[in-house]
Amino acid sequence: MLIRPIALLVLALAGVPAQPAQYPPWFRDALELGRTHDEALFASFNKGYSLSPSGIIDAAEVITEFRRAVLIVREHALQGDFGFGPGDLDKALAPYRGLVTFIVQVRLNPLNTFMTPPPYELYVSTGPQTPPVAAKSFKRDPVYPPGGAPGSQVVGVRLEASFPRNAIVSAPDPRLIVTDEKAEIIWQAHLDLSRYR
């Protein structure tokens, strides 16, 4: 019969795929978790992606592809966009494929005179005999005191960098490193990405 080929041709011309798109199985989990009304569950999920801060490090966290998916869905759910589905999520995740992001907030000395963020760096060391992993993106943002704004004294620095996940996983001894304006290491954490979904 010619009905099926004609129907497929009509669907193709209309831009409708003949076969449903295949998405990773974890998309369903990300959509469910991002839309949850259980605030304790969502908070516990996010806490699981924290690294242990110490000294002048106020917070450090990991954003894997899965966690980013959950956060994206959550953002849409909070705006009442419950029609946000697997296809939308797939498009939103495209720029982050294969990447893992780290965010570290550093507290500055209260007597500092910085009006802009000092040149602190965030990178992934792979071991004593191997080069560091190159970041795909890096941001250094100022943290102001409550009520503060650009032009006021900076009380902290928020560092955010994204790296290829495979380069970290295959490294002999991956460590997340923060250095100050003198390139001195002020904090480091061993990275085991197998702990994070």
The pLDDT of residue 4: 57
Of all helices (H) and strands (E), which one includes residue 86? helix 86-93
- Three-state DSSP at 79 gives coil
| CA proximity to 171, closest of 122, 121, 133 | 133
CATH number given to 21-195: 2.60.40.10
Q: 156-164 and 175-179: which strand pairing?
A: unpaired
The pLDDT of residue 124: 97
- Three-state DSSP at 131 gives coil
Report the phi/psi class of residue 130: left, alpha or beta, with left for phi > 0 and alpha for psi in -120 to 50: beta
Residues of the chain with pLDDT under 50: 1-2, 11, 16, 18-19
Q: Rounded distance, CA 177 to CA 100, Å?
A: 15
Domain boundaries, the chain: 21-195
pTM: 0.85
Q: Of how many residues is the chain composed?
A: 197
What letter would DSSP give residue 116?
Answer: S
The pLDDT of residue 17: 52
